[in-house]
Amino acid sequence: MRMTALVDERREQFKKDVAALGLDSARSRSGGKGRIVGMVLMVVGAAAAFIVYIASLTLSDLRDIASYQLLSVGFLAITIIGAAVYTAAVVARVLSLWLVRQLLESNAQSERIAEALARSDS
C-alpha cells in the first residue's frame, strides 16, 4: 500500500510540474493529430484493400486482376504508412514525457546539491 501511495504522489507531483511549465497542452495536440491521422490511414488502407479484393473476385481477365492487385498493394502501403505515423506519434509523446521527467529530476538534483553546499559553507 505504501509503495502505491508513493507512486501516486510522484505522479501527481509530475503532473503539477508539467502543468506549471505549460508543456503538456501544446505537445498533446500535435501528438493527438498524429495518432488520429495514423489510425485513419490504417483503417482506410485496410478497408480499401479488402474492398478491392472482394471486387477482384468477380474478374476473369488477368490484366484486370493484376491492376486490382497493384491497387490493393498500394492500399496496404497506405496501411503501413498509417502504422508508422501512429507509432511515431506515440513514441514522440513517450520520449517528450521522458525528457521532461529527466529535466525536472535534474533540476531537483541541482537544487539538492546547492542546498548541501550552502549548508556546508555555514
| pLDDT score of 30 more than 70 | no
Q: In angstroms, rounded to a whole number, what is the distance separating the alpha carbons of residues 69 and 7? A: 52
pLDDT value of position 43? 97
Q: Which three cell numbers stand for residue 111?
A: 537544487
Q: Which three cell numbers stand for residue 2?
A: 505504501
| The predicted structure's pLDDT at residue 110 | 87
Amino acid (one-letter) located at 78:
I
Grid cell of 106 as nine digits: 535534474
pLDDT tens, residue by residue, 69-78: 999 999 999 9
- 49, 76 Cβ separation under 8 angstroms: yes
Q: Is it the case that residue 25 has pLDDT exceeding 80?
A: no
Q: What is the pLDDT of residue 83?
A: 97
In the structure grid, which three cell numbers stand for residue 48, read together?
480499401
Rounded mean pLDDT of 104-122? Answer: 84
What pTM value is reported for the model?
Answer: 0.70
* DSSP class of 1: -
Residue 5 is predicted with a pLDDT of 75
